Amino acid sequence: MSLVTATVGYAESWWIQILKSLIIFIVGFSMVPLALMMDRKLMGRFQNRFGPNRVGPFGALQPMADIFKLLVKEEFRPRTATGFLFALAPAISILTACVAFAIVPFGNTVDIFGTQVGLYGIDPSIGVLFAFAFSAIAVYGLMLGGWASGSKYSFLGAMRSAAQLISYEVSMGLSLVGVIITCGTLSLTEIVGHQESAGMWLFIPQFVGFVVFMVAAFAETSRPPFDLPEADAELVAGYNTEYGGGRFALYYAAEYFHMVIASGIAVTMFFGGWLLPFGIDPPTWVDPIVVLVKITLVIAIFVWVRATLPRLRYDQLMSLGWKVLLPLATANALVTAILVTVLD
């Protein structure tokens, strides 16, 4: 699993690319019920209760029961809704999540039966910019859902979503600039390779960037304490107020899918991706398991924060993004650029 095993410039066969696409789709959607189960189970423990424990062993089949319940419900559309866009909006949210998940690497390039296969969907030279591009497109899913519903509450939630995602995406992008400057590349696999050659995970020298990234990730995924687009006390349910059945299930799954993606990017950029600490070098087949375990631990942080902090007011949300996180992320990028220049 040495750094020299990274292969650049090889072309995978079309059938390998199709097979990898199917595996990414299956793994991604398998992580959604896992994240949902962790959310409900850990929240129960934090609140001194059991959480789901009836459906399946230890309540493990509760997420599947919830999904099935939503899928068999009758679809409803308000008379004031714009039909085509009303149906298209949740599809955009889940589609952008699927595409963004393709860049999360679960290992390096390996030899499988004499064929070079990368344990990732794609490794574009633009790296996380690819994920940010589709994250920006995901805003349209929320905006269209709120506007096409023909409801003032839904539209207000959609406007909150757009303002929140745009403001925190700036801070999130800048928080990763320090990592990019340090590694000198945008490729996620090469960033992991840099951490291997340096013998140190980047959350140590880039701790400020990591904190900014995680706080912005809470807002990007509309997770508490930044769940203002879905503030039930003010907006009933925000942009998805008028959605039910399978369409609501798509929005519901997309929220947890984006949380999985944010966790995967955090693991790759700051926690060494598939690398183990203390120079431990396991067999290659262990790499995807290491990444999945790390992603699960980061998801646990999302749940921990949800159980700990109350929801912010909307003015506090925007002030934190523009007046605190943005200057911190900018200062971190500037200091990193100066240090890299001086040390080189």
Q: What's the CA gap between 85 and 336, in Å, rounded?
A: 44
16-20, 57-61, 236-240 — which is least confidently predicted? 236-240
Regarding pTM above 0.85, the answer is yes
Q: What's the CA gap between 272 and 342, in Å, rounded?
A: 25
Q: Inform me whether the pLDDT recorded for 73 exceeds 70.
A: yes
Q: Tell me if residue 149 falls in helix, strand or coil.
A: coil
Dihedral of the alpha carbons of 305, 262, 157, 85, in degrees to the nearest 10: -150
The average confidence (pLDDT) of the chain is: 87
Q: Inform me whether the pLDDT recorded for 207 exceeds 80.
A: yes
Instruction: Give the model's confidence band at 106: pLDDT under 50 very low, under 70 low, under 90 confident, else very high.
Output: very high
Instruction: Give the model's confidence band at 270: pLDDT under 50 very low, under 70 low, under 90 confident, else very high.
Output: very high
Tell me the C-alpha to C-alpha distance, in Å, between residue 131 and each of 51, 115, 123, 136, 316.
33, 28, 11, 9, 27
Instruction: Give the model's confidence band at 8: pLDDT under 50 very low, under 70 low, under 90 confident, else very high.
Output: very low
pLDDT on residue 10:
54
Q: Inform me whether the pLDDT recorded for 290 exceeds 90.
A: yes
pLDDT on residue 235:
63
pLDDT exceeding 70 applies to what percent of the chain? 95
Q: What's the CA gap between 147 and 78, in Å, rounded?
A: 12
In this prediction, residues 79-104 reach a mean pLDDT of 89
pLDDT on residue 269:
94
